[in-house]
């Protein structure tokens, strides 16, 4: 078997493995529900981190 056909086979297998993940990039952002504790001030920081990562946050 030639080196060129071996590389093509590897590319084909890699593409086939990644194909199910291709729809994830176009998907709507996930919604994360955050339950805030009135005695804790860190919730707003956690919400900011989630929003920066692309999540929609519901409080």
Show Cβ contacts of residue 33 under 8 Å, excluding neighbours closer than 6 positions. 57, 58, 59
Q: Which residues pair with 31 in a beta bridge?
A: 56
Question: pTM (2 decimals)?
Answer: 0.49
Extents of the domains making up the chain? 3-58
Distance CA 14, CA 52 (A): 30
pLDDT for 41 equals 79
pLDDT by residue for the chain (59 residues), tens only, comes to: 555 555 577 776 776 666 666 555 556 668 889 888 888 878 888 889 989 988 899 98
């Amino acid at each position: 078997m030639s080196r060129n056909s071996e590389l093509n086979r590897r590319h084909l297998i890699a593409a086939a493995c990644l194909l199910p993940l291709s729809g994830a990039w176009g998907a709507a952002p996930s919604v994360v529900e955050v339950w805030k504790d009135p005695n804790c001030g860190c919730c707003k920081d956690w919400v900011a981190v989630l929003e920066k990562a692309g999540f929609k946050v519901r409080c």
